[in-house]
A and B are shown apart, each in its own frame.
Chain A
Amino acid sequence: MTFNDFMMILDSKPLDEVLKEYPIGWDFLANFRLNNLAKELPFSQALLKVDDEALAEFGLDRFEALKTFGVFLEQFTPKENLLEEVKSITISGGWDKSRTPENISLTISAGEIISIVGPTGSGKSRLLNDIECLAQGDTLTGRRILVNGAELDELQRFEMEGKLVAQLSQNMNFVMDLTVREFLEMHARCRLTPNIGEVVAICFQRANQLAGEKFSEDTLVTQLSGGQSRALMIADTAYMSDSPIILIDEIENAGINRRQAIGLLAKREKIIFVSTHDPLLALSAHKRIIIKNGGIAKVIGISEEEKKSLGMIENLDNTMQRLRTALRAGELIHMKDLNGPSF
């Protein structure tokens, strides 16, 4: 459906039929206070009964209003999504702050987890910026980002930039005054998801699996605990965000199963970057990028020894969790609590 198709429809089909087929059109009418239009007429004719002044308040005349509705319907018709076709990205090296070349070409495929480590200010966010804006040697670092092994032309870059990376960080909060269910439904609606009920149900269920403490659909999102919020954000990103790349900036270790959370995103064929110094998370990644002096100093694959140590790290982590839970419940801590089942 092109813009011209929509203009024809708006000129010939009764408005109520158009709205039945494209319910999102109701939003357009509400945005321009046109809810009371005669629905049995085509939009172009119904407009004739609207006061000039009412349209002028929005900076429109009748023809502009018709055109704006046409553009709107075209914009919100699901179409081929370039983002869905992102199967891998390649970071092709530039240079660090002292202009030393990075000499690197790293290809990361969907489902892969990469951790990024390095001191504050070392250049982690620069790397993310390069990925987000699909740098083509035109940023400060001189890096190039290839998608599916190829450079992008300007048009593709325009279509993708800004939507490529979904971000999740410790500082993020929910600010909407909605229940969990309403929140998920609203997000699904704006993704033009056809089967809203189904997607909402699965997001809710997965979020609850990830969260230490369970929550109901009627909880206000602003009342969720830190762990529950993070769990909901991750489930929501996994099932509803169309960004193929996810950047996670440290997840607090209370109230959420972090490894499972990241595993869920990987299973959804996302490319995952975790900026973290939490050993459990960093070693759950397939590779890790070491950042120094604004550049990628090294990329190391996880070693066998590191893989083996993961189990022990997890036990240590569980012990800390148990201690926290015990303290919260008002219990005394005993030496024997420190000797978890693994020691």
Chain B
Amino acid sequence: MKLITVAGPPSSGKTSVILKLIECMNCDKGSIGVVKFDCLTSFDNLSYEEAGIPVQTGFSGKICPDHYFVSNIEDAVQWGVHSGFEMLITESAGLCNRCSPYIRGILAVCVIDNLSGVNTPRKIGPMLKFADIVVVTKGDIVSQAEREVFAFNIRQVNSAAKVIVVNGITGQGAFILAKYLRQAVEIQSLTDTKLRFTTPAAVCSYCTGETKIGAPYQMGMMKKMEFKNL
């Protein structure tokens, strides 16, 4: 089974891109499955079900979404293998814009949209920097110049990635994306593979449910800002 991890900020168009992509793959119905990792709620499973795509949804709730992803991804792969899929696509939102756990050797796709502002690519970090393919959406409503500046800013952060513009409504560009995804490697398990980047450190008092503000309540891993005197 081929595994592809898709990440991107909320509402960047991940689900639309995946739907158009599956349409372009020309595979038998039901041979591509999706696992959706979300935080609190998600309505995307409806879109997948409507398209006849097998889907599982998991909610991280109070756990860091990236930690949640890592601790469930092997089970997701086993679900995919047992269901006899040719391809499994995972979809997760990079909530802190820092990381999204891409795995070494597994094709990693980052979806961002043109409306998020031209400098956004320079602010996103490892989720963009470590992706193999960067899909840019919502290009049909901004000018050509802005699309070009946006792509330029992506290449500034990730010079090696392939940047592909996909229209999530018409599917324009999904063909090129599908072509690249066919190159994903076959796997049976992820055990002993490694993440491309560490997930966020999170062992402070607030991780464990502390809600009070102030120095006496702050324990564990802390990072303090430096405020300069004016």
Contact = CB atoms under 8 A, between A and B. Distances in A.
Nearest to B176: A133
B164 to A, nearest CB: 6
Nearest to A171: B141
Contacts of B179: 133
Q: In this complex, which of B142, B156, B173, B179 has the most chain A Cβ atoms within 10 angstroms of its Cβ? A: B156
A187 B118 contact: no
Nearest to A221: B143
B129 interface: yes
B125 interface: yes
Interface string A178-197: 00000100110011000000
Interface stretch (B45-53, B78-86, B146-154): B146-154
Contact of B156 (A72, A139, A171, A237): A72
A172 B141 contact: yes
A184 to B, nearest CB: 8
Contact of B159 (A72, A139, A162, A174): A72
A75 B155 CA distance: 8
A113 to B, nearest CB: 18
A339 interface: no
A233 interface: yes
Contacts of B141: 171-173, 175
Interface stretch (A124-132, A300-308, A315-323): A124-132
B199 to A, nearest CB: 11
Contacts of B69: none
A310 interface: no
A122 interface: no
A132 B173 contact: yes
A72 B165 CA distance: 21
Contacts of B165: 162
Nearest to B114: A175
A28 to B, nearest CB: 7
Contacts of A162: 163-165, 173, 176
Nearest to B223: A53
Nearest to B142: A175
A179 to B, nearest CB: 14
B145 A173 contact: no
A139 B126 CA distance: 34
Contacts of A174: 142-143, 146
7 contacts: A59-B125, A71-B160, A132-B173, A172-B141, A174-B146, A187-B148, A187-B149
Interface of B: 114-115, 117-118, 122, 125-126, 129-130, 139-146, 148-149, 152-153, 155-157, 159-160, 163-165, 170, 172-173, 175-176, 179, 196-198
6 shortest interchain CB distances as A-B pairs? A190-B152, A75-B159, A59-B197, A187-B145, A71-B159, A166-B144
